[in-house]
Structure 1
Amino acid sequence: MTLRRVLGGLGAAAALGTAAAISTRRRALAAVPRELWHPVLYLPLSFGNPVTLAVARRLVPLAGAAVRPGVRVERRTLPATTDDLPVEVLIYQASGASGRAPRAALLWIHGGGTVMGAARQENTWCSRVADELGALVVSVDYRLAPENPYPAALDDCFGALRWLHASAAALAIDPSRIAVGGESAGGGLAAAVVQRAHDSEVPVRFQLLVYPMLDDRTALRADPPDSAIHTWTPGSNRFAWTSYLGRPPRDRDDRPYIAAARRRNLAGLPPAWIGVGDLDLFHDEDVDYARRLNEAGVACELRLEPGMYHGADALLDGEAPSMTAFRTAALDALRAALAKP
């Protein structure tokens, strides 16, 4: 789950003529704990136009994180079916794990606003899950917007979930212990995939949603205070949602699974873990979704991290104790959910 190189490169590209914006960010830093300070917080990052998007996409291959020793990674093209086009995935498993008794599996969906990113940027996280949990992890290289708007990414991710179930015996996984998760836009896609899986009677044990991008209507609201402008801004959010939806967000959009927060009835969905910082642009929509899940009878653990901005764990895991603890909490929730009954 790394944004370090991407954010740094985009920050450098956006640094010209930004004295006023930098002054605003200095004031906003007052809400950020010292251990979470990072140079990118001073920079007016924006993904709101094709130029910055092109820069980000060029940098993503450089952001591929290291795979843990002892974990094998295989790139595979899932075959087309009557319902699904071919989709590229990365498969992570601990060496020697393929011969074990049926194990749990995680379908992981990378972040990037649905407009950038790649499965390989999640090498560190996915290989950690495979290593520490002994699970098979499948990370999806879904099609990106705006070239491929809704429902392309959703279809790719849901197709990968169906493939996991259909291939359970060959992959030596337990189909009753498959989780779906993702971070940021990947978390939003994961929540939508889980909803579609529920309606299609495709079993999912658990959903792991890391500061998920759940509600396109956030882009319609007034800009948040300065404390919520770090790394993922309202302008970036509007651009990303417009790209994914194929049109600007609007109050009403009845297309199925277009945004997870739009679903009215959440009853019957699998248990969830949602983690988000109180300085994150997605804070309100994430907290509200967690509340609605619990009210619908769905067990949902909400981890609300004080002083955390969007992607802080990606920048500072291993350096800031609170961010290391945040990621460990997500892993522990997944471990408990995927344990055998």
Structure 2
Amino acid sequence: MAKGQINEQPDMTSRRSWKQNPEAVRENILQTARAVFVAHGLSGAKMDEIAARTRTSKRMIYYYFGDKEGLYRAVLEDAYARMRRAEDALDLGRLHPVEALRQLTEFTFDHHSRERDFVRLVMVENIHEGRHMSKSEMISGQNSSAIRLLEEIYRRGCDDGLFRPGLTALELHWHISALAVFNVSNRATFSNIFGPDLFEPKGQEMLRRHTGDMVLRFVMKPGLSPEDVEKPPQTKPRMIDPGIYRFLEVLEAQKNSLPEATTLEARRVLYNSIARNLRLPTPPNIETDREDWIDSDGGPVRVRIFRHQGSGPQPALVYLHGGGFWRGSPESHWDTTARLASWTRQTVISVDYALAPENPYPVALKQALAVIAWAREQAERLGIDAARIAVGGDGTGGNLAAAAATACRDAKLPLRAALLIYPILDFDLTRPSCRQNADGPLLRLEDVETAARHYCPDTALLSSDPMAAPLRAERHEGLPPTFLALAANDPMRDSAAQYAEALQRGGVSVTVDEGEGLVHDYLRAQSHCTAAEDKLRIMSDWLYEVFLTPGAPG
């Protein structure tokens, strides 16, 4: 074999392997295009040059981004996303408000000084009057998190009597950005006129510190200075992951783009429509087309089956969606169930149980139990393992899942596991978490009151029957291993935490995830909040390990 042929095969293999990674291809295009747009602007950038500098073709660029403007908009979105992710990692909620504001200001100064391409892209977009950014919901959502972060810091400073009232987070963001952007945007002209000293390392360190001082002196009350402020120990603040705020922006835009919903049925349609519009791509290894109808004491019930393409028999999870008992469907929770099936390599049976108030307690629970029994009886036909069936659900679906696990224990029909995601396990609304998180976001205390009223109008029953409020059960022994995914900013957090304690007292194996920075219903935000997806992967890993464990606890 000739010498030139020896190296040819590894190169081809490397190229083929790289092309088979769509994310790597897309990332390579984005970073190459970023450099070209920075150098030449939007008008001067040539797609031929971008293609020549990547490891792909112009056709592939059009496949991913549509046209030059689509590519430019994606470059802008990526640039802002990178900055916001770096901001998110600062963990400013644990800092004294004076220290937090200084750190955020100096971080912005450093980021712009280090990532000069970011400022130049912003300058290019300003030449175009911001018209490309205005077409991007993603940029709007990403940058709302910066304002929310400043609002939280400013509010804490005001509450401590340090910051003067009457300012807005938007004003503060403008002042911080103005100083940091000028340091880059006018560097060349300023250096040519006045010399380069301020842009040498020593000069930049000095400007960085001065920028923090200027912002703090603007914000602080007269007579106070950053150096003189006593830094008292901080109680743990209520911090929400910025990705949640990004999702809320997109959610609100979706609501505004659809017809107003006034009736109960219209609100259900709106809920499902938004879920469908925001749905993530279904993992390619998951089959989703199969539906079945099961008879039950609560009437016929539909299930949608999410099955991993691997050969059976597979473990199975009977999943009960959230939605306050009165809305939701297997389709509204598609992202969660499809990914659980994919990452756990299992079958997920998603239950379209009858909704309240037309079908009050215990109709939905009867249907859930009928589906579990059906899955066990039809295991061979479904390609699942009857000895490895678990139950799970989120929110009010977590209530149904916990009640079903109790009923199966009492009927001596053991389940392999229970996956309870920010479940509502009783309806006591006097706990501290209810007061702390009464206004949500995503779930408000008044929403829980509505759910309770719809599900079980008999308040005495609701507060005493363990099938309606599983936390109220007299005993919790013999229940299956349970994963409890809490959300730190959920009004019903304390109810779920007490349930975990009750399980532990009963000798049940319990895994608790505190959900720091997250809110009730956070799995709906997976497209904008990486922490939400990370949590679902943790749940999937736990479920996968439980399914691998021999035996059938419970």
TM-score bracket for this pair, using the shorter chain length? 0.7 to 0.9
CA distance in structure 1 between the partners assigned to 2:419 and 2:394 by the alignment: 8
> Which structure carries more strand by proportion?
1
Match of 2:111 in 1: none
Give how far 1:243 is off.
0.6
Match of 1:15 in 2: none
Match of 1:118 in 2: 329
Match of 1:76 in 2: 291
Amino acid at match of 1:94: H
CA distance in structure 1 between the partners assigned to 2:264 and 2:420 by the alignment: 24
Amino acid at match of 2:478: G
CA distance in structure 1 between the partners assigned to 2:481 and 2:389 by the alignment: 12
Match of 2:65 in 1: none
Of the three residues 85, 89, 94, the one matched with 2:299 is 85
CA distance in structure 2 between the partners assigned to 1:296 and 1:163 by the alignment: 29
Match of 1:242 in 2: 453
Cα pair distance change 1:256/1:229, threshold 3 Å? closer
1:275 aligns with 2:485: yes
Alignment of 1:127-276 (within 5 A): 127-218=338-429, 224-225=435-436, 229-247=440-458, 249-250=459-460, 253-255=463-465, 257-276=467-486
For the aligned residues, what is the CA RMSD?
3.0
Give how far 1:53 is off.
4.0
Give how far 1:92 is off.
1.3
Q: Where in structure 1 are there 5+ consecutive unaligned residues?
A: 1-22
CA distance in structure 1 between the partners assigned to 2:541 and 2:414 by the alignment: 21
Task: Confirm or deny: 8 A CA contact 1:228 1:279 kept in the other structure.
Answer: no
CA distance in structure 2 between the partners assigned to 1:286 and 1:313 by the alignment: 17
Moved more, 184-193 or 28-37: 28-37
Task: Confirm or deny: 8 A CA contact 2:487 2:520 kept in the other structure.
Answer: yes
CA distance in structure 2 between the partners assigned to 1:58 and 1:27 by the alignment: 37
Match of 2:200 in 1: none
Give how far 1:227 is off.
6.8
Match of 2:516 in 1: 306
Of the three residues 325, 337, 341, the one matched with 2:546 is 337
CA distance in structure 2 between the partners assigned to 1:167 and 1:30 by the alignment: 47
Match of 2:500 in 1: 290
Task: Confirm or deny: 8 A CA contact 2:316 2:346 kept in the other structure.
Answer: yes
Cα pair distance change 1:232/1:55, threshold 3 Å? farther
Amino acid at match of 1:112: G
Cα pair distance change 1:39/1:324, threshold 3 Å? closer
Cα pair distance change 1:188/1:86, threshold 3 Å? same
Task: Confirm or deny: 8 A CA contact 1:219 1:238 kept in the other structure.
Answer: no
TM-score by length of 2: 0.51
CA distance in structure 1 between the partners assigned to 2:462 and 2:396 by the alignment: 20
Q: Where in structure 2 are there 5+ consecutive unaligned residues?
A: 1-150, 157-236, 256-260
CA distance in structure 1 between the partners assigned to 2:325 and 2:430 by the alignment: 15
Q: Which structure's relative contact order is higher, taking Cα pairs within 8 Å and 6+ residues apart?
A: 1
For the residue of structure 1 that corresponds to 2:404, the secondary structure is: helix
Give how far 1:200 is off.
1.1
Match of 1:12 in 2: none
Deviations 1:113-149 (A, max 9, x none): 1110011112222222222322111000000000100
Which structure is larger by alpha-carbon Rg, 1 or 2?
2
Cα pair distance change 1:152/1:220, threshold 3 Å? farther
Cα pair distance change 1:282/1:254, threshold 3 Å? closer
Cα pair distance change 1:336/1:311, threshold 3 Å? same
CA distance in structure 2 between the partners assigned to 1:129 and 1:155 by the alignment: 24
Task: Confirm or deny: 8 A CA contact 2:456 2:462 kept in the other structure.
Answer: no
> Which structure carries more helix by proportion?
2
1:31 aligns with 2:239: yes
Deviations 1:297-325 (A, max 9, x none): 0011110022211123322x243332222
Moved more, 33-42 or 197-206: 33-42
Task: Confirm or deny: 8 A CA contact 2:405 2:479 kept in the other structure.
Answer: yes
